[in-house]
């Protein structure tokens, strides 16, 4: 890996997300009006369901999936204010 004029050779200095037993300490969030539909589509595309869609007390619907590459993804509806 090269940053400017510096070469960093650390091929084993990170954890591959897809081989980790548990998701890494980060996630991405995708906002949609159809959480259940997006959750099902993600599962059909190869993701693993971590948490089925659930309605939170503040009115937001949230679910979690883990992509085949190991990325943790929150699928959620917009927060209504």
Per-residue DSSP letter, 41: H
Q: Give the model's confidence band at 13: pLDDT under 50 very low, under 70 low, under 90 confident, else very high.
A: low
Q: Given CATH 3.10.180.10, say whether it is the number of domain 2-76.
A: yes
* E strand or H helix at 36: helix 35-44
Reduced 3-state DSSP string for the chain: CEECCEECCCCCCCCCHHHCCCCCCCCEEEECCCHHHHHHHHHHCCCEEEEEEEECCCCCEEEEEECCCCCEEEEECCCCC
Residue keyed to tokens 């954890």: 15
Read off the pLDDT of residues 15-68 as tens digits, 9 standing for 90 and up: 677 777 777 778 899 999 999 999 999 999 999 999 999 999 999 999 999 999
* pTM, full prediction: 0.76
Read off the pLDDT of residues 17-28 as tens digits, 9 standing for 90 and up: 777 777 777 889
């Amino acid at each position: 890996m090269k940053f400017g004029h510096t070469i960093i050779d650390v091929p084993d200095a990170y954890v591959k997300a897809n081989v980790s037993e548990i998701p890494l300490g980060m996630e991405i969030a995708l906002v949609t009006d159809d959480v259940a539909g997006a959750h099902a589509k993600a599962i059909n595309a190869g993701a693993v369901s971590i948490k089925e869609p659930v309605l939170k007390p503040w009115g937001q619907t949230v679910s979690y999936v883990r992509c085949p590459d190991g990325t943790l993804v929150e699928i959620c509806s917009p927060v209504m204010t």
